[in-house]
Amino acid sequence: MLIKTYGCAVYGIEAIPITVETNIGRGINFHMVGLPDSAVKESHKRIKAAFSNAEFKYPGKEITVNLAPADIRKEGSAYDLTIAVGILAASDQINSEEVENYLIMGELSLEGSLRPIKGALPIAIKAKELGFKGFILPKQNENEVSIVEGIDVFGIDHIKELVDYFNGDTKLTPAVYKPSLNEEDFNTQQLDFSDVKGQENVKRALEIAAAGGHNILLVGPPGSGKTMLAKRLPSILPPLTIDEALETTKIHSVAGLISSNAGLMQNRPFRSPHHTVSDVALVGGGSNPKPGEISLAHNGILFLDELPEYKRQVLEVMRQPLEDRIVTISRAKMTVEYPSGFMLVASMNPSPSGNFYDPNDPNSDPEFIVKRYLNKVSGPLMDRIDLHIEVPAVKFDELSDERKGENSVVIRKRVVAARELQALRLKEMKGIHYNAQLSAKMIEKYCKIDTQGKQLIKTAMEKLGFSARSYARILKVSRTIADLDRSDKIKANHIAEAISFRSLDRDGWLN
């Protein structure tokens, strides 16, 4: 008897439907075809033990399982339940009439209980697109995918529940999404800018970066608060929209980073890889491509502490994703794409000794050593960072001041208001929501400046040696500063402030 059950393979962050054809005939053997990997091939051993412990009969006949389409490699243990249901239906242990109406996936333990799977969210979205009646999966993944409307999601703990359901002995209740975090919880869980003493100019720069989604570099001596400030940046970012939350959760789901019973991600990601990270770990890849840190930071922040300590090769592979906000990983048998629309926040010391260059201080590093240290980060990569901020050491009077600074909730309101202006201005632009995403044509349309502003930028370019890319960055940052000012026009003071945030573009400091 031939039975068809359905699952999905996940490539990139998209699911591809897989038909599992199970046939039971004369003989005693088990065959699996359709390009399965080792984990899939081993599934029949887990299924056989699960059947025995759950008191189901494993057919003593020839079982042939075909995973179609056969030219797509099937990987992982998530097909256990799909294959098990096919065997049960083909051996008349469950009613086969309803089986084909459901997409079924899950990893079986030897006792018949289910373990969570990776990529559950993109699979649920594909199941809805394909018109399945429901999606049956492990209970631990239930809340993660129940946000998807238009399809019933049934989470089960044991294979017996599924058998009883298809035989009409019990009913399964569709899962109802349970948010794991509300606005009040979000505010209490975040680190707050009110904890930071002094550094008002740096706080201002971070507010501008958050308002426009701009990349930012913090340069200062050890102990000046660079890491402390960077870790508080998520507290002033706008909340994730439903589309952003879905896309972010899909990436983390594929990577297997969604904890059991967790729902949709509601905090923007903050990824901080160590400087020993490899280029594959940062960008993504492997024989079976997986998302890297830049994709896991999508719609959030990628924080690179001590930027010059990262291998130059690792930093250079970020150049294309920083521009295109997508990373393409090509292999002989496949090409996958992962979103990489992240804010880059980096920090570094201004010199090997950790202090700013001072020609009057005999103990400071010589100028050529400082230049060599700064040039560990290439000019083209630095060009892609919109704001360069000098973070001075905090003075004692500021550290001992008991007064609290402006808190993150107040700053966040200004950031959200600026983002709303940008969203309204860019509503006709597909996939463009804030100023950092503006293309050259959009800059020309939305970042118009008057004669005084042009003269100001011209002078800065001539005296400070700015590149053409730096010019575009200045215009985009100026547009964000104007939005925070609730100004339709970009004024000279907005441009002047944006120019002040390009401190490392001085001619001769970076190649």
Q: Where are the domains of the chain?
A: 2-166, 184-430
The span from the CA of 369 to the CA of 29, in Å, is 71
> With 70 as the cut, is the pLDDT of residue 52 above it?
yes
> Is residue 227 within 8 Å of 200, Cβ to Cβ?
no
Average pLDDT over residues 479-498: 94
State whether the Cα torsion 412-418-421-427 is positive or negative. negative
Q: How confident is the model at residue 182 (pLDDT cuts 50, 70, 90)?
A: low
For domain 2-166, give the fold.
Answer: Ribosomal Protein S5; domain 2 (3.30.230)
Average pLDDT over residues 489-499: 93
> Is residue 131 within 8 Å of 151, Cβ to Cβ?
no
Please state whether beta strands 284-285 and 270-271 pair in parallel, antiparallel, or not at all (unpaired): unpaired
> With 80 as the cut, is the pLDDT of residue 511 above it?
no
Q: Do the domains spanning 2-166 and 184-430 agree at the CATH topology level? A: no
Average pLDDT over residues 425-452: 90
> With 90 as the cut, is the pLDDT of residue 117 above it?
yes
Residue 189 has what pLDDT? 55
**Is residue 362 exposed (0-12), middle (13-18) or buried (19+ Cβ within 10 Å)?**
exposed
Give the C-alpha distances (Å, rounded to integers) separating 185 from 181, 266, 412. 6, 11, 15
> Is residue 294 within 8 Å of 284, Cβ to Cβ?
yes
> With 90 as the cut, is the pLDDT of residue 310 above it?
yes
Give the tokens for residue 223: 């102990």
Which residues, at least 6 apart from 132, have a Cβ–Cβ distance to it below 8 Å?
6, 101, 102, 103, 151
> With 80 as the cut, is the pLDDT of residue 225 above it?
yes
- Whole-model pTM? 0.88
> Is residue 121 within 8 Å of 148, Cβ to Cβ?
yes
Average pLDDT over residues 181-201: 71
Say what percent of the chain tops pLDDT 90: 64
Identify the CA nearest to 348 among candidates 397, 313, 381, 395.
Answer: 381
Q: What superfamily in CATH does domain 184-430 come from?
A: P-loop containing nucleotide triphosphate hydrolases (3.40.50.300)
Q: How confident is the model at residue 59 (pLDDT cuts 50, 70, 90)?
A: very high
